[in-house]
Amino acid sequence: MAAEEATHRPPTTHRPPATSRPDVSVVVPVYNTLRYLRSCLDSVLRQTIGPDRMEIVAVDDGSTDGSGRLLDRYAAKHPGTVRVVHQANSGGPAAPCNRGLDLATGRYVFFLGSDDRLGPEALERLVAAADRYGSDVVLGKVVGVNGRHVFSDVFAGGNAVDVSLFDSALPWSLANTKLFRRDLVDRLGLRFPEDMPVLSDQPFTLAACYHARRISVLADYDYYHAVRRLDARNITYHSRIEQRLVSVERLFAYVADLIPAGARRDAVLRRHVGLELANLVGDDFRHLDRAAQERVHATVARLVRRHVTDGLRDRLGIEARLRLGAVTAGGVDDLLAVIEQDSGRGVPATVFAGDRWHAGYPGAPARWTDVTDVRADWLARLDAVDVSWADGHTLTVTTRSPYPRFAAEAGPVRMLAGPVVGATRMDAGDPAGRTLRTDFALDRLLTAGPADGQRHPVRAEVDGGHGRGGAAVRAPRLAAGRPRLLRRGARLYGVAATVDPRNGQLVLSVVPVTVGQLVGRLRRRGRRGPATAQTPERGPAGVQVSGRGAEALLGRHGHLEVRGAAQVQPGPLRRADQPHHHPGAGRTAPDQARGVRVDV
């Protein structure tokens, strides 16, 4: 039968002789993704590689939303291609991935999130590359959908036949959404650690890449579409702090066991320290209760002392380096003081001790706050103090440096929103030369990402007497105004400046908006009561929008979730402590969660 029942993982299923094996098995772990599941499965069934060369192994991990029943219908409709197994909920993605791997029979195995989808030619291209180059692991270009962030540096250099784990951006792309040679998986006995509630794909992928004869990267096609669910329930977005602590500790132990101490281990740990570890003490650390803060602080401090060498510390991004330095400097209150400085007051002053430069955080140890060797990165740390619509086609970001000799020492400054370079100039109104104004053309923001939308994190780059450097642009206490609706071809998009609550970085988000979303929201609003009548307005791209009944909500991860039509009006995005009155409404909307305000 195509659909099976299981309450635990049985021994590995016997695979048929090689002559009858499919080229690739697509393993799809499923838990409550009904809204996205059909699109996911259809994207596999439409693969140009054809049904004779592939199989789908879907594992329902105790779904309660009807996902399991939908899987059974697909299995009945596509016998021999779709195989389904049901099991009790395991609490994480590791167990269903292992179960699917046990049942997979292909020469290669590919893991696909049940809320994600593949480009039509993805499997055919991946298998062809693996066969042609003898690759054990092949990574195809990943693009974000609905503003989901993906690390894309590994694709920046184009196709690469042979990529090293230790001198490339590959450690920043260790999700299991890759093609793996089954012989490698069996030889190493690879499985996903089921004692890791989150991040369980990292050890699997890391071990495969560490032992692979060859790793290839394909950047010539959009192979994998990683979808940010509009209910923000992706496992990486929603994990309790205790789960994160357990998983991060086990991940670090795994890396230490796998890779001998030295430069190669540091090359991999640079990602885990700069991302997973630093995120534990990101801006949202202050929202934890005190007991949780104490546990997080103790865990992070222990891992830093155990795994972060001086060489690794010096290679960290300046944001992670300073934040982790605060952890090792003292207790929870010392860390909170640093977070409050970053998120509430902005970049601190520079403290000079002889010829050494130090970041002016109170109480932090000198060896962590010494930024002398990364002065260019330090100078690139700017605060966004205002974001406004300059006209119908331009978004202007105003940034400021606390460094008094910024104009003389920073050199030329570039401001980027993702891949989009803005037009930057010194603000003539600031005689000290510490304020910059950067114009981002909205049409370039729209065309810079995929049609499914994109987040564009804003960063600054300098190139002066202290060398080249770069840093994320933070937006302390900056509150968001209303997004703007624009049209690109036949599609509508919401464009907004938002603040990522995890790290305080300014993000310019572009998210598609459907007519159904607009109409549905207006109808629901209409059933609750009549909206105040207003004159329809004409947006910059010919989009007509009207009525206070339409509203937009900003997602908790800096993404725009449009659930109705926002009014198309120019207006600055101001600091949260400034009054901001909605024209014609006679009131100010209350502050939303985490200091981000949306006028409705």
> What pLDDT, in 10s, does the model give residues 447-504?
876 666 678 899 999 999 999 999 999 998 777 666 788 777 777 888 888 888 778 8
Check whether residue 479 and residue 349 sit in a common domain.
no
Return the percentage of the chain with pLDDT > 90, whole number: 57
Would residue 304 count as lying in a domain? Answer: yes
pLDDT digits (tens, 9 = 90+) for 19-57: 578 999 999 999 999 999 999 999 999 999 999 999 999
* Beta pairing, strands 467-472 & 484-488: unpaired
Check residue 525 and give its pLDDT. 64
Compare 215 and 524 and report the one with higher pLDDT.
215
* Residue 113 pLDDT: 93
Among 257-261, 537-541, 566-570, 574-578, whose mean pLDDT is lowest? 566-570
Mean pLDDT of all residues in 567-594: 33
527-549 average pLDDT score: 39
Residue 528, pLDDT score = 60
Residue-wise pLDDT for 382-410, tens only, equals 999 999 888 778 999 999 999 999 999 99
For residues 481 and 123, which has the higher predicted lDDT (pLDDT)? 123
pLDDT value, residue 579: 35
Q: Are residues 427 and 326 in the same domain?
A: no
CATH number at residue 84: 3.90.550.10
Q: Which pair of tokens denotes residue 572?
A: 């600055």
pLDDT of res. 228: 77
pLDDT of res. 591: 29
What amino acid is encoded at 599 in this protein? D
CA distance 189 to 185: 6
Do residues 339 and 397 share a domain? no
Both 192 and 322 in a single domain?
A: no
Whether residue 565 lies inside any domain: the answer is: yes
**What is the predicted pLDDT for the residue at 17?**
47
Same domain (yes/no): 366, 391: no
Does this model's pTM top 0.85? My answer is: no
129 with 259, same domain: the answer is: no
Residue 378 within a domain: no
- For residues 412-430, give the mean pLDDT: 93
Q: Between 254 and 228, where is the model more confident?
A: 254
Burial class (CB in 10 A: 0-12, 13-18, 19+), 496: buried
What pLDDT is stored for residue 520 in this prediction?
67
Nearest alpha-carbon partner for 96 in 26, 224, 192: 192
Q: How many domains does the chain have?
A: 3
- Verify that 364 and 408 share a domain, yes or no: no
% of the chain beyond a pLDDT of 70 = 78
Which pLDDT does position 277 carry in this prediction? Answer: 95
Look at residue 500 in the predicted model and tell me its pLDDT.
Answer: 83
Close Cβ partners of 458 (under 8 Å, ≥ 6 residues apart) = 384, 397, 415, 416, 417, 472, 473, 505, 506, 507, 508
pLDDT of 171 strictly over 60: yes
263-297 pLDDT tens trace: 999 999 999 999 999 999 998 899 999 999 999 99
Tens digit of each residue's pLDDT (9 = 90 or more) over 70-92: 999 999 999 999 999 999 999 89
Among 196, 227, 258, the domain-final residue is 227
Q: Which of 12-16, 35-39, 152-156, 215-219 has the lowest mean pLDDT?
A: 12-16
Q: What is the mean pLDDT of the chain?
A: 81
Same domain flag for 187 and 302: no
Q: 210 and 250: one domain?
A: no
Would 544 be classed as within a structural domain?
yes
pLDDT of res. 503: 81
Tens-place pLDDT, residues 134-167: 999 999 999 877 667 777 788 888 999 999 999 9
Q: What is the pLDDT of residue 312?
A: 93
Q: In this structure, which amino acid lies at residue 443?
A: D
More reliable by pLDDT, 42 or 566: 42
Both 404 and 327 in a single domain? no
Do 299 and 347 belong to one domain?
yes
pLDDT of 550: 30
- Domain coverage including residue 38: 3-227
Model confidence at 587: pLDDT above 50: no
| 456 and 570 both lie in a single domain | yes
Which pLDDT score is estimated for 345?
87
Contact call for residues 229 and 124 (beta carbons, < 8 A): no
Residue 234 located in a structural domain? no
Judged against a pLDDT cut of 70, whether residue 561 lies above it is answered with no
- 482 inside domain: yes
Of 370, 399, 432, which one is at a domain's C-terminal end? 370
Higher pLDDT, 128 or 361: 128
Band (pLDDT 50/70/90 cuts) for residue 574 is very low
Q: Which of 339, 370, 401 delimits the end of a domain? A: 370
User: Span 247-276, mean pLDDT?
Assistant: 96
Q: Please tell me the predicted confidence (pLDDT) of residue 145.
A: 74
Which of 160-164, 184-188, 314-318, 553-557 has the lowest average pLDDT? 553-557
Give 239's contacts (C-beta < 8 A, 6+ positions apart).
197, 198, 247
Q: Looking at the domain assignment, is residue 233 inside a domain?
A: no
Is pLDDT at 15 greater than 80 in this prediction?
A: no
- pLDDT tops 50 at residue 555: no
pLDDT recorded at residue 527: 66
- Long-range CB pairs of 7-10 (<8 Å, 24+ gap) are 7/87, 7/88, 8/87, 9/95, 9/98, 9/99, 9/102, 10/102
Interacting residues of 240 by C-beta distance below 8 A, sequence separation 6+: none
Provide the pairing of β-strand 54-61 with 82-87. Answer: parallel
Tell whether 377 is covered by a domain: no
Query: In what helix (H) or strand (E) does residue 133 lie, and over which residues does it extend?
Result: helix 122-133
